[in-house]
Chains A and B, each alone.
Chain A
Amino acid sequence: MKSTIIKTGLLAAALSLSLTAIAQEGHPMKGSWIGEWKGNQKLGDFVLLVLDWDGSKISGVINPGTDNLNITEATLNPDDWSVHIEAGGYEMDGKIEKLELPARSVVGTWKGPEGASGALEIVRQ
């Protein structure tokens, strides 16, 4: 119960932060993203990504400081703004929504070890 309250609080705080997202007019994936990979029994619903763009590839980490899942593959298809990310046995697939906003989001699905899967929604901070 206590854990759920803490997680809910963290998520609410994260989502409220998204209202004051720092402007980022460069590569759409660069920056910090906070949100949920719902139903993730192992790591919890709350997820944080820190992504960078070096001119040729997207790199970064999922849940830095706790799970430290280094991203091994990440792509953005600008034809439809679809996103694919792989890290530590997890895969995320989604599309960027509200591309024009600093607080843009990626909405889609995730899947992980042992057949785990669920909905994904992360918002750029």
Chain B
Amino acid sequence: MQKSKLKSMIRLVVLATALGAGIEHVSAQPAIIAKFDPASEMSLSGIVTYVDWKNPRAHVFVNVTDGSTVTNWAVELESPLILKGSGWNEASVKPGDRVDVKGLRARNGSRQLWSETMTVAGKPVFTLKDLKPATPARSEPAPRGADGKVILGSAEGYWGFPSEHALVEDGVNVPMDRYGQLTELGDAAKVAPMQPWALALYAHRQERSLQDDPMFINCKPPGGPRQYQSDLGIKFVEDKVNERIFILMGSGNRNYRIIYMDGREKVGSVTGDDDNPLYYGRALGKWEGDTLVVSTKGFNEDFWLTNGGLPHTNKLELTERFTRSDMNTLQYQVTLTDAGAYTRPWNASWTMQWVAGQEVPTFFCQDNRP
């Protein structure tokens, strides 16, 4: 890579990290820097003409007058889900309001900007709250059913706010933002034991600020371990009669995953039913003490394995371990085996937090394309 290009990349990543720092709000959207240029800050003032209150991101349209010329700008905000959680709604600004906006201009030069600060009559609007639940002072033991088994899910909550937002091999410390964008591109090789082509492809995706992510461009599901990397979370529904566990996703357009607990024969090998590979593969589960162990294969190659863009092939096999270590903590540990993209099996792990008293959020990517 050219030195000047590398310097420029590092500068952008530092700015992006600054953008991603601060309040911990939910992330189910593409990286901001994929669309907006952190080096192009701008301000505008004008009259609101329309509010488009839809996922994945809300937009406020503003008419800006310059002499006799009026131009319409689209101001992009966080998702309505996040804004609503922070106390805002569709009527927080209304057509006819005069607004002042500061933000980042779109990379493609169109009249769009990402709003960091919007004020109406001098008062800030669409500010964000920290939506992560506070950690209880005293941890209660994990709940158990009549059969003595740990209950992974219940109607009164869901698992969200993962401690990690992208796959990194256990024991490796690589700084990155909540979208999986590396702070230093030179750290790419440390993330996982990639084959040369996979490393080069991962670096290419990183260099392009993750703008090619099929989860956002084409609203593809968050396949593989990525389903556990969204703050919007997941919910376990245990169907003991039919010996299945369903995982409902808050970030995947109402996707669900089935884990078969009935001891059926393993399928989904590359030479088996690879005529119909899936985003979530075919998963077989069993209990080992208080840990649900899930073995999955039969993945397609149509998705990014993780926030940040690690590649995989249809040889991918996952062994996942879910342990509810106390009332509020879910330990997730995954072993990835993929001889098509990696040089050896490797492990990653993180925790998810119990969000009590709430339904798993509903987030539809296709409501309003980015």
Contact = CB atoms under 8 A, between A and B. Distances in A.
Interface of A: 22-28, 30, 53-55, 76, 78-79, 81, 99-101
A21 B218 CA distance: 12
A27 B197 CA distance: 7
Contacts of B200: 78-79, 81
Nearest to B313: A26
Nearest to A26: B301
A26 B204 contact: no
B196 to A, nearest CB: 5
B199 A23 contact: no
A55 B197 contact: no
A53 B212 contact: no
A125 to B, nearest CB: 14
Interface residues of B, number: 25
A54 B204 contact: no
B304 interface: yes
Which of B205, B208, B301, B312 gathers most chain A CB within 10 Å? B301
B311 A25 contact: yes
A24 B301 CA distance: 6
B339 interface: yes
Contacts, number: 56
Contact of A30 (B195, B214, B218, B301): B301
User: By DSSP majority rule, is chain A's interface helix, strand, loop, or mixed?
Assistant: loop
A101 B93 CA distance: 38
Interface string B188-219: 00000001110111001100100010100010
18 contacts: A22-B302, A23-B218, A25-B311, A26-B311, A26-B314, A53-B340, A54-B340, A55-B315, A55-B339, A55-B341, A78-B196, A78-B199, A78-B200, A78-B201, A79-B200, A99-B204, A100-B204, A100-B212
Given A78-B199, A79-B200, A26 B340 contact: yes
A106 B214 CA distance: 21
B280 interface: no
B74 to A, nearest CB: 25
Contacts of B201: 28, 78, 99
Contacts of A76: 197
A35 B303 CA distance: 26
Contacts of B339: 55
B98 interface: no
A23 B340 contact: no
A106 B157 CA distance: 50
Given A76-B197, A78-B196, A78-B199, A24 B208 contact: no
Given A53-B340, A99-B204, A27 B302 contact: no
Given A53-B313, A100-B204, A100-B212, A78 B304 contact: no
Contacts of B94: none
Interface string B306-345: 0000011111000000000000000000000001110000
A26 B342 CA distance: 12
Contacts of B195: 55
A27 B340 contact: yes
Nearest to A76: B197
Given A53-B340, A100-B205, A100-B212, A24 B302 contact: yes
